Homo-oligomer: A and B are copies of this chain.
Amino acid sequence: MTNSRYILKSESINEMKGDARTHFLNPRAKRIRKTISTKVGLENIGVHIVYVESGNESTEHHKHYDEEECFYILSGEGTLRIGDKNYAIGEGDFIGFPADTAAHSIINTGTAVLIILVIGQRLKQDIADYPLKKKRLYRHDDKWDLVDWENINDPR
């Protein structure tokens, strides 16, 4: 049989251009992201292959309040920061953060490209904290509300 809409062949993934993204809060967080889940029609699980060059970070240090996310290292080496501690990670390691747990980010401290299979829930809404920037992002569908912690008040 020729291909199916539910299959994304390895060669097709290789040929995807990917999105070159720099995190809006961190100019050193530069990566190429290939979102493979939407190619086969998935709506509630996001699966991405993320390529981080040596010296770059995967994202701004953050945590999610609602969405679980996890990482399977496909190749390369790096350093995973959890809270304010660092851990060496490499090929075949699996990392997961339940909702509302520790802030985290990955730096490619190796010499080769770090390739990560990034998996996450895709909920209608989520809140993310960026503790190093003291900012909170409230996401609701495609609406993004970024607020400085100092401007948030509990009215009660």
Contact = CB atoms under 8 A, between A and B. Distances in A.
- Size range of the interface on A? 35 or more
B119 A45 contact: yes
B117 A72 contact: yes
A24 B56 CA distance: 46
Count of this chain's copies in the oligomeric assembly: 4
A10 B90 contact: yes
Interface in A10-41: 10, 13, 24-25, 36-37, 39-41
A127 B141 CA distance: 12
Given A45-B121, A146-B155, A6 B140 contact: no
Given A41-B101, A155-B25, A1 B93 contact: no
A19 to B, nearest CB: 13
A119 B121 contact: no
Contact of A136 (B89, B96, B145): B145
Contact of A154 (B42, B95, B144, B156): B144
30 contacts: A3-B87, A4-B80, A4-B85, A6-B97, A6-B102, A6-B104, A7-B94, A8-B93, A8-B95, A8-B96, A36-B94, A40-B94, A40-B96, A40-B97, A41-B96, A42-B98, A43-B68, A44-B121, A45-B96, A47-B70, A47-B94, A66-B124, A66-B125, A117-B117, A121-B121, A125-B125, A127-B140, A145-B153, A145-B154, A147-B153
